[in-house]
Chains A and B, each alone.
Chain A
Amino acid sequence: MPAPLPGAIDCDLHIAVPQTRTLVPFLDEYWADHVRIRGVESQSYQMSSLPPRAPLSVRPDWQASDGALPGSHFGDLKSKVLDQFKLKFAVCNCIHGTQIMLSEDMSLAFCKATNDWLAKEWLDRDPRLRASIVVPAESPELAAEEIERVAIDRRFVQILMLAMGERPLGRRSYWPIYRAAEFHKLPIGIHAGSNYRHPPSSIGWPSYYLEDYVAQAQAFAAQLLSLVTEGVFVKFPELKIVMMESGVTWLPGTIWRADKTWRAVRFEVPWLHQAPGEVIRDHVRFTIQPFDAPSRREQLERLLEQLGSEDILLFSTDYPHWHFDGDDAVPDGLPDALVRKMLFDNPLMTYPRLSHTARDSLE
């Protein structure tokens, strides 16, 4: 991208919880006391699936000025992203290990605290900021309650889940989350990351973080297949899914294979009346960082044809993660019309709450 286009909507950037104790003032009395007694507040709950200081996780010039966790300073986010890219809106994803704690109740308490902290310490400070609701995803009933509580604040525009959890996300046990999401017009944002209840791949635990990171794309593919196969979009026809930091270029091959399997095996899941590729194009969106683009221009052109839709890509910087340098947030070689859709139209179509806000602010 030669220069940032004013008014773009960034659909994936990150806010870091500086320390666990940051959230304590936002816990209710019981849990504040409990976590103090156990010393939980002084433990780090950074997630091992997203090590915050790995090269992929922080662009060199997006390090926090004082050595704090990347993404934990409002001032950095404002100057390096909101102002630099002249954004209209930015959808913030706050991923923190308290969201994947095994104790459902402690996790819920921290998720509530995180949502309230996001509203007060971030959303209140800049009208361009929007956020995803964080939930204890493995406790769908509790997650749905939290969605109901927070959805009243229309600056929360989606629900955050991880690419790797206990069960594939199409499983019916997760449906209370989707019911709440559809009702409130909140897309489900699935972000790279794992609670490591399973190895990151079917072949066990790899040695290197690079392998885990690459494997995220395979988990996204598995989630796509699960959501489609289980009929989530049949049950919740208005539901949208956003895959964030998933990579994009694996999608055509995945669709071809899924469609091929569907033709033979659809009798196993007779509610699936459309080929998976059509369902995916109707219901699933992808943020563009990282894109994992091919090296040659003509390959990219062919690949965009294979993707077969201009509606599925959403602009993102993935701040402070390191996928590009300077202002090159849009992969080279994308046609102008697609770029415009990606920066403006597609995000508005995906996040109904952004349009409402825009209209509200006009009034």
Chain B
Amino acid sequence: MNIHLANAKSPVETEGKAHLGFVDCDIHPMFKSPTELQEFLPKRWREHAATVGRRSRGPFAATSSYPRISPGNGMRGNAWPSNGGPPGSDLELMRSQLLDLFEVRHGIMLPLGGGASDERNVDFGAALATAMNDWQATVWSDRESRLLGSVQISLENQNAAIGEIEKRAGDRRFAQVMIPPRSIEPLGRRRYLPILEACAANGFPIALHLGGVGGHPPTGTGWPSYYHEEHPSYVQTNEALTTSLVIEGVFERVPKLKAVLVEGGFAWLPALKWRLDKHFTRMRDEVPHLRRLPSEYIHDHIWVTTQPIEEPKRREDLLDILEWIGWDRVMFSTDYPHWDQDDPRYAFRTHIPDAQKRMIMRDNALAFYGLD
């Protein structure tokens, strides 16, 4: 009776290795402190940041309209680094909780909170975008080559945005261009076309990750009261984005453009395809620039990530959805370190055949991003 307390065992039961070696299509690196980004700004904008500060189209200067369910604007409770700073700000913890734990092959970073895209002063926005990109490259990718960045742009500053895209083209540290889905106008409208053309011309897919403060309510019927509604409202935004890109004819004009919709789940996509096809057949005279069914553009140009994965009561229903979307169009993502992140071991609560699982966990993303 002389054995000592020891808590060395893993908290979760041992699983197989099928989940290892995936590509994580949604990781959020964070700033160690609110001022970390300012070190990457030129003096003129450092002063601006310290005085006027960032100004978006939302009501609160430094947080979102809907309080999240956990501290740090919705962080996973056990991802706070012991050395201070918020979840996602410490590479070593990210390695132990994600990159090394699951032998992640590549991790695609989608930094949030830099404010570049929503900044109403578009010159400041462009400076923030450049700073964010330098920060991703030097603080993250240079130290951990598995982590690839997403080029930040100021969507309303076209010249600067195109300049930034061209500047990062060919830099293997960047996988894609990140565009906020909630913009001033729907993304398919012509004002954004030159930026989308620049993305395609420079070999970047676009990532549409939930968020963005376009100034419009999150629904077509105004502002909901609760996070309980706002959290699923990003599904509706993804539907609107898909509709816009397809129906406005973006993929006719920019045939090489590929888009991935991140952090909106995916079970909504088949029904949207059916609805678009059905009403397109009635209204095709209004959109003569479309030469194919909406669902065909979607299949050729739009990918989705898994998180937050839908959890149907009958778990096997998920298989139907994946089949209807196409196994080659779905890519796994964790959303580390947010509260609603998915764990690769348990996210799919139904059995997925190995061949298909490999596609979702790894091969689709390798092909989409042109990675090894």
Contacts and interface: CB of A to CB of B under 8 A. Distances in A.
Consider the complex of A and B and state whether they touch directly, i.e. have CB atoms less than 8 Å apart. Answer: yes
A237 interface: no
A252 B271 CA distance: 9
Interface string B201-235: 00000000000001011111111111111011101
Interface of B: 69, 181-189, 214, 216-229, 231-233, 235-237, 239-241, 243-244, 247-248, 265, 267-268, 270-272, 274-280, 282-283, 285-287, 308, 310-314, 317, 320-321, 324, 339-340
Contacts of B243: 201, 206, 211, 214-215
A168 B227 contact: no
Given A206-B186, A254-B268, A259-B313, 16 more contacts: A56-B283, A165-B222, A168-B229, A170-B224, A201-B243, A215-B240, A222-B218, A226-B229, A252-B267, A252-B312, A253-B267, A253-B268, A253-B321, A261-B228, A290-B278, A292-B275
A208 B216 CA distance: 18
Contacts of A217: 239, 271-272, 275
Interface string A234-267: 0000000000000101101110111111101111
A198 B237 CA distance: 14
A225 interface: yes
Given A206-B248, A253-B310, A254-B235, A167 B185 contact: no
A207 interface: yes
B221 A260 contact: no
Interface stretch (A64-72, A79-87, A105-113, A293-301): A293-301
- What are the nearest 7 A-B pairs in CB distance? A222-B219, A253-B267, A201-B240, A218-B236, A256-B310, A292-B275, A210-B283
B247 A211 contact: yes
A268 B217 contact: no
B270 A264 contact: no
A203 B241 contact: yes
B313 to A, nearest CB: 7
Interface of A: 54-56, 163-171, 194, 197-211, 213-215, 217-219, 221-223, 225-226, 229-230, 247, 249-250, 252-254, 256-262, 264-269, 272, 277, 290, 292-295, 299, 302, 305-306, 308, 322-323
A164 B185 contact: no
A261 B312 contact: no
B317 A165 contact: no
Contacts of A265: 69, 226-228, 231
Interface centre among A54, A261, A268, A272 (most CB of B within 10 A): A261
A132 to B, nearest CB: 19
Given A210-B283, A256-B312, A257-B267, A168 B186 contact: no
Given A198-B221, A250-B271, A204 B286 contact: no
A202 B340 contact: no
7 contacts: A55-B285, A208-B247, A219-B236, A222-B219, A223-B221, A253-B267, A265-B226
A166 B222 contact: yes
Nearest to B281: A55
B275 A306 contact: no
A206 B244 contact: yes
Nearest to B309: A260
A225 B229 contact: yes
A290 B214 CA distance: 31
Contacts of B218: 202, 222
A163 B214 contact: no
A275 to B, nearest CB: 9
Contacts of A260: 308, 310-311
Contacts of B279: 56, 210, 213-214, 290
A204 to B, nearest CB: 4
Contacts of A167: 221-223
A219 B69 CA distance: 25
A249 B220 CA distance: 19
Nearest to A249: B271
A87 to B, nearest CB: 24
Nearest to B224: A168
B341 to A, nearest CB: 12
Nearest to A322: B282
Given A56-B282, A249-B275, A168 B69 contact: no
B226 A215 contact: no
Contacts of A213: 279, 283
Nearest to A217: B275
B236 A201 contact: yes
A269 B66 CA distance: 13
A39 to B, nearest CB: 31
Nearest to A169: B221
Contacts of B225: 168, 170-171, 226, 229-230
